[in-house]
Chains A and B, each alone.
Chain A
Amino acid sequence: MKTEESPFSALIACGLVALIFVLGFTVLAVRLREEQVDNTAVRTFEMERQSKRRVQTAGIRGRILARHGEVLACNVPASSIVLNAEAFAKKSWGGTAAEITNAIARAEKVLGRKSPLTIRDIARHLTNEVSRPLVVWRNVDEDTLARFAEHELDLPGFDYEERLERHYPQGLLAAHLLGYVGREHAKTEAGDRKFHFKENELSGRTGLESYYNSFLRGMPGESELLVDARGFRRAERTIVEPCAGPDLRLTLDLPIQREVERQLRGHCGACVVLDPRDGSVLAMASAPTFDPNEFVPVLKADLYARYLKDSRKPLLNRACAEGYAPGSTFKPITALAGLSVGLNPAEEYECTGAYYLGKFRIRCARTWGHGELDLRTALKESCNAYFCRTGCMAGTNAVMTMARTFGLGSATGLDFVSDYRGIVPDDTWKRNTYSERWYPGDLAQMSIGQGMLLVTPLQMARVIGALGTGRLVRPHLKEGLSFDSVPLSVPKDHLAAVRQGLRAVVSRTGTGHRGADGVEAEVMGKTGTAELGRGATRRKNTWFVAYAKGTEASRPDAQDREVAIAMVIERGESGGGTTAPKVCAVLKTVFNRPPAEKGGAE
């Protein structure tokens, strides 16, 4: 076979072609090296950015315990039946949604329960968080769960998931104190580069749950989803396990708390029991109350509306968020103010049934007058005229300073969401608030705890505690959180004079004799009946405050106990008649031996 070419030029041609080939493969190899060796990190990051979804899993909320370890709030697992969208993936999103709808309909038949999900919910789930399980039935009961377990094989793509819900095993007990939680709808902000999804975490909405939220909430965990091009989940991996928050131990004494709530039941009112030595709150209650379990997992709108519309305001914590006129329970402070400007406690004053100040006439409880009174008797009888005179004698400044000395008009520093400071009115305050000057009548009103003066039961418990111990404490709810108490800047003999009066109050003939009747402890107290409104809306808020110290007669474990208690009942009859017996019952719970034991001893 002859060719037109010399072998030499053919070889050159082949060589050239070979050269081009080698060149081509070299270019590919070099460029591949750039991509596969140099760019690996960049592209791996791009890969992860599109295929990894980071999820923040909710932390485990710590429990709330009472003083002796009784559980007040804990977590219980609640099962939800969920659906994994990836099991129903069809070519089109519409097809997938239809498949899911059919599957739910099938499951509804098997479980005999309607699902609250609408087609719109399903579509939203597919658009927004297709890689996550879709909750079909939230917090199902055990029957449904059992039926689901039985039919699990017939319901592919369904699964059940447990999450922790808050539970308050004591029900209504200390509801205002504990508060309640809600699911935080954790919106992942646009700037949030760390997480694509955040599990809705329990978060305190009010009460201690709210105040100690960051203490209780625990550490959120982290998990990672691997998703495919359409966003369906392919794999899941836990990176950080969620961590449980510490338990919150309270100073609350559960038997006392129970008794307090029993006494308040059926009334509007509040009661605070303090240990006046270190400020620990032994009981704190407000009535009417609510059941925090109704707020789990979410508060129904109609229920919430009912709570809000209720004229008795069950959600209001009257113990520390509401101000009341203290009424006669303020009189010890007026007395101390008087003593500080030189009132002689033994000096007698004649009460004629009213106190006249110019045109003003302030009536006394006893219309025909108490007659001659010294300080002790005045306190015992709760004579308005005596204390109006004493207040006017001491002057606005002295009374107010004394009130402030006892912590009125300022927050108590309680570790709690609400800590109303109350109002201790004075000239400036009245000008700012009412654009009116301060009249001597205002001082007279204030001296007997009426008028514009507002205090909380918590403040009053602190006041009576301070009168008992001579030191003003900062109250606290969390165990181990103790603050230094401040000694009152009041001479000892003044205090002793007032104490004498307060002891007389609970004596057999005192206004508050029913406040210590049968209490096996040393008690002093003060009644109070604050009058509000005029005419048809006239009503009385009745107070009783008491300080009690254990004696040898008390129950052995209560012998070295001291308590300060303040209770207010709205629309009561009188402090001595309405409130004192309730306080007495509480004091008995604190100090008295149980009846059975007593019976054995006798």
Chain B
Amino acid sequence: MIRKLLRFNWLSFGAMIALVVIGTLTIKSAGGARDVFFHDKWIDNLQTAVFGLAIYAVLAFVDYRRYLSWLSLPAYVGAVLLLVLVLLVGSSQMGGKRWLWFFQPSEVAKLCVLAFLSQVFGSEEFSFRGRFGFRGFLVAAGLAGLPALLILMEPDLGTTLALVPAVIVILLVAGVWRKGIVTMMGVGVLLAATLLGSVYEAEKPGAAEKTRQSIRYYLGAGDDRRTETQEKRFALAPLKPHQYGRIQTFLFPEGDRTGGSYNYLQARIAIASGGVWGKGFGKGETNHLKYLPQSVSMNDFIFCVYAEEQGYMGSLALLGLFAVLCLSGVWTAGTATDLRGRLMALGVSTLIFAHVYVNIAMSIGLVPITGLPLPFISSGRTFLVIVMAGLGIVQSISIHREELR
């Protein structure tokens, strides 16, 4: 046990605890601005964190090899079943069927998919011919694709997308069909660029009305805020109307101040008006005067609440803590003695990084608005437990670098 404690990554653990504390306080501030119902949300968060810590401890101090090998398959199957179940009997909230009783199966699925993928490609147990070639890719695509598809049906595009970088990193590091995956990434980037470019062409000031109409038709813009009409949509249109709108406001945030851009503009005001040192805890005006929409201030846009109150220095501190968390995960991966551990550590770190990056980047206009929580800071019990569990596994990988007798 003492040897385990000696190998314990205190830095990562400390960063996690600090983030839990920061998150709880920020939730208190964000909830304080809302109805009485939300005033005690921070206590919920604290209780969940204690529960998460217990799971963290169990997963960290037990050798990951002992549980990943037998647990990952049932966990994966269980997660898929839960995702099917949520589509059948789940309750709706905020335009998606995401809730099963008290938790979100899609969050659970994230970790289960990563664990199972690293088990499949990192250990000999699931060895099959062509594991690191195209066939391996097909298997991986199938394994990751099934839950991803189920999550998409909820629908929850953000969660699906957040899984993609982690899966790609796992596959690339494992060495599965590298050429193909890199090519596909290139194609993906090109497609995204084309999409952005087309929306830009359609919505830029002075664009020809005919061009605009046809681009909107093929991309599936749907209802037009400018003329307040329901537009026809192309049957195979790649985007949903609100997705088109988000890309549009990403490109032209000033275009629709009170409509689609409102969230973003208020987020921008909140973050920037914090200045270097912030307005102080509980003094964020954008939040407390409810300019920041209440429905998102505790979840997807909680970074704004934090940044307004703590300023640039606070933001840097937060980024630093996340960097410590993610990079120590990579360090763990680097020092891991087996591929399975390495893949898992990288997968969890990438998952956290993707969430942090996308969440913060969307509130400062670097990516279009996507509904992703900020790990530890956003109020969301399932995700908090899942992230802590993932970090517990990473800790276990760090502790059990060499098999201990």
Residues of chain A touching chain B, judged by Cβ–Cβ distance below 8 Å, are: 1-5, 10-11, 13-15, 17-18, 21-22, 24-25, 27-29, 31-33, 35-37, 39-40, 42-44, 46-47, 50-51, 226-230, 234
Question: What residues of A have a CB within 8 angstroms of the CB of B123 in the complex?
Answer: 1
The docked-state distance in angstroms from the alpha carbon of A226 to that of B283 is: 13
Which are the 3 A-B pairs with shortest beta-carbon distances? Answer: A43-B272, A36-B312, A228-B289
Which residues of the partner chain B approach A1 to less than 8 Å between Cβ atoms?
123-124, 337-340
Excluding A43-B269, A228-B290, 19 further A-B contacts by CB distance (< 8 Å) are A5-B175, A10-B173, A13-B346, A17-B333, A21-B326, A25-B322, A29-B316, A29-B319, A31-B361, A32-B312, A32-B319, A32-B360, A32-B364, A36-B307, A40-B276, A42-B272, A46-B265, A51-B285, A227-B289
User: Taking the complex as formed, is B357 at the interface, i.e. its CB lies under 8 A from any CB of chain A?
Assistant: yes
Asked, given contacts A32-B364, A36-B274, A51-B285, whether A18 binds B269 with beta carbons under 8 Å apart, the answer is no
- Residues of chain B with a CB closer than 8 A to A226's CB: 285, 289
Shortest distance in angstroms between B171's beta carbon and chain A's nearest beta carbon?
A: 11
**CB-based contact A39/B289 at 8 Å:** no
- Dominant SS among interface residues on chain B: helix
B289 near A229 (CB under 8 angstroms)? Answer: yes
Give chain A residues whose Cβ lies under 8 Å from the Cβ of B365: 31
> Which residues of A are found within 8 Å of B364, using beta-carbon distances?
28, 31-32, 35
B259 to chain A minimum Cβ distance, whole angstroms, is 15
B273: CB under 8 A from chain A? yes
- Give the most central of B172, B269, B274, B275: most A CB within 10 Å: B269
Interface code B318-360, partner A: CB below 8 Å = 1, 0 otherwise?
0100110011001101100111101000100110010001001
**Closest chain B CB from A228 CB (angstroms):** 4
Is the pair B312, A37 in contact by a Cβ cutoff of 8 Å?
Answer: yes
| B24 interface hit (Cβ, 8 Å) | no
In chain B between 274 and 288, which residues have their CB closer than 8 angstroms to a CB of chain A? 274-276, 285-286, 288
- Contact B327–A36 (Cβ < 8 Å): no
**Nearest A residue to B313 by beta-carbon distance?**
A36
Is B271 interfacial (CB-CB < 8 Å)?
yes
Query: Do residues B334 and A27 form an inter-chain contact, with CB atoms below 8 A?
Result: no
**Nearest-Cβ distance from residue A339 to partner chain B, whole angstroms:** 83
A-B contact pairs, 10 of them (CB 8 A): A10-B173, A21-B327, A31-B361, A35-B268, A35-B271, A40-B274, A47-B269, A47-B273, A47-B291, A50-B269
Complex CA–CA separation, A40 to B271 (angstroms): 9
In Å, the complex CA distance between A28 and B276 comes to: 15
Given contacts A22-B327, A28-B357, A42-B272, contact A47 B285 (CB under 8 A): yes
B81 within 8 A of A: no
User: Are A10 and B342 in touch, CB under 8 angstroms?
Assistant: yes
Given known A21-B353, A35-B272, A234-B289, contact A14–B334 (CB-CB < 8 A)? yes
Given contacts A43-B269, A234-B289, are A4 and B175 in contact (CB under 8 A)? yes
Residues 145 to 184 of chain B near chain A (Cβ within 8 Å)? 169, 172-173, 175
The answer to whether B289 touches A3, judged by C-beta atoms less than 8 angstroms apart, is no
Given known pairs A13-B173, A24-B357, A42-B272, the reply for A229 and B349 (CB within 8 Å) is no
Chain A residues lying within 8 Å of B175, measured Cβ to Cβ, are 4-5
CB-based A-B contact count at 8 angstroms = 135
Find out whether the CB atom of B276 lies under 8 angstroms from the CB atom of A36.
Answer: yes
Find A46's partner among B269, B290, B342, B360 (CB 8 Å cutoff): B269
Q: Which residue of A is nearest B352, CB measured?
A: A21
Residue of B286, B307, B330 with highest tally of chain A CB at under 10 A: B330
Q: Is the CB of A22 within 8 A of B289?
A: no
Q: What is the CA–CA distance of A47 and B122 in the complex, to the nearest angstrom?
A: 52
Write out the residue numbers on chain A whose beta carbons fall within 8 Å of the beta carbon of B274.
36, 40
Interface check B218, CB cutoff 8 A: no
**How many residues belonging to B are interface residues under a CB distance threshold of 8 Å?**
52
Give every chain A residue within 8 A of B122 (Cβ-Cβ). 3
Which of B271, B273, B286, B366 has most A Cβ within 10 Å?
B273
Our pick among B268, B285, B350, B366 for the contact of A17 (Cβ within 8 Å) is: B350
Which chain A positions have C-beta within 8 A of B316? 29, 32
Query: Within 8 Å of chain A (Cβ to Cβ): is B8?
Result: no
B346: A residues at CB distance < 8 A = 13-14, 17
Q: Is B132 an interface residue (CB 8 A)?
A: yes
Contact B272 A17 (CB under 8 A): no
The residues of A that contact B331 with a CB separation of less than 8 Å are: 14, 18
Residue of A nearest to B275 (CB): A40
B261 contacts partner chain A, Cβ-Cβ < 8 Å: no
Task: Please indicate the chain B residues that have their CB under 8 angstroms from the CB of A228 in the complex.
Answer: 288-291
User: Could you tell me if A13 and B271 are in contact, using CB atoms closer than 8 angstroms?
Assistant: no
Asked if A14 and B333 sit within 8 Å, CB to CB, the answer is yes
- For B121, the closest partner residue in chain A by CB is A4
Instruction: Give the complex CA separation of A14 and B334 in angstroms.
Output: 6
How far in angstroms is the closest Cβ of chain A from B169? Answer: 6
| A32 contacts B315, C-beta separation under 8 Å | yes
CA distance in complex: A28, B312 (Å) = 11
Taking CB atoms, residues of chain B closer than 8 Å to A43 are 268-269, 271-273
- Residue numbers in B under 8 Å from A28 (CB-CB): 319, 357, 360-361, 364, 366
B307 touches A13 (CB 8 A): no
Q: Which residues of the partner chain B approach A42 to less than 8 Å between Cβ atoms?
A: 272
Q: How far is the CA of A37 from the CA of B315 in the complex (A)?
A: 12
Cβ contact within 8 Å between A3 and B272:
no
Q: How far is the CB of B82 from chain A (nearest CB, A)?
A: 29
CA distance A388 to B124 in the complex (A): 140
Determine if B311 is an interface residue (Cβ-Cβ < 8 Å): yes
Give the docked Cα–Cα distance between A15 and B335 (Å): 12
- Residues of B close to A46: CB separation below 8 A: 265, 269, 273
B172: A residues at CB distance < 8 A: 13
A44 touches B339 (CB 8 A): no
Is A36 within 8 A of B342, CB to CB? no
Which of chain B's residues has its CB closest to A31's CB?
A: B364
| Residue on B nearest A46 in the bound complex, by CB | B269
Cα distance A14–B169 in the bound complex, in angstroms: 10
Known A-B contacts A21-B349, A24-B357, A230-B290; the reply to A32 vs B330 at CB < 8 A is no
CB-CB nearest in chain B for A27: B366
- Which residue of A has the minimal Cβ distance to B272? A43
Cβ distance B368 to chain A, nearest Cβ, rounded Å: 15
Residues of A within 8 A of B333 (CB): 14, 17
Query: How many whole Å from A8's CB to the nearest CB in chain B?
Result: 11
A1 to B124, CA, bound (A): 8
Among residues of B, the one whose C-beta sits closest to the C-beta of A15 is B334
How distant is B401 from chain A, measured CB to nearest CB, in Å? 12
Which residue in A10, A36, A50, A51 is a CB contact (below 8 Å) of B311? Answer: A36
Which residues of B have CB within 8 Å of A3?
122, 338-339
Contacts of A27 in B (CB 8 A): 361, 366
Residue of A nearest to B336 (CB): A10
Closest to A230 in B: B290
Are B312 and A33 in touch, CB under 8 angstroms?
A: yes
Whether B275 contacts A36 by the Cβ 8 Å rule is yes
Q: Is the CB of A18 within 8 A of B327?
A: yes
Asked if B269 and A37 make an inter-chain contact with CB atoms under 8 angstroms apart, the answer reads no
Q: Shortest CB–CB separation between residue B291 and chain A, in angstroms?
A: 5
**Distance between Cα atoms of A264 and B290 in the complex (Å):** 66
Bound CA span A33–B338, Å: 40
A40 contacts B291, CB within 8 Å?
A: no
B132 (CB) vs chain A CBs: closest residue:
A4
> Inside 8 A of B334's CB, which chain A residues have their CB?
10-11, 14-15
Task: State the CA gap A37–B277 with chains docked (Å).
Answer: 10
Chain A, residue nearest B315 (CB) = A32
How many angstroms between the C-alpha atoms of A43 and B266 in the bound complex?
A: 9
**B124 contacts across to A, CB distance below 8 A:** 1-2
Residues of A within 8 A of B327 (CB): 18, 21-22
Q: Are A51 and B337 in contact (CB under 8 A)?
A: no
CB–CB A36/B319 < 8 A: no
Q: Which of B132, B291, B366 contacts A31, CB < 8 Å?
A: B366
Interface centre among A1, A44, A51 (most CB of B within 10 A): A1
Identify the closest chain B residue to A10 (Cβ).
B342
| Complex interface: chain B residues within 8 A of A36 (CB) | 271-272, 274-276, 307, 311-312, 315
Q: Is the CB of B323 within 8 A of A25?
A: yes
In angstroms, Cα B319 to Cα A92, docked, is: 39
Residues of A within 8 A of B338 (CB): 1, 3
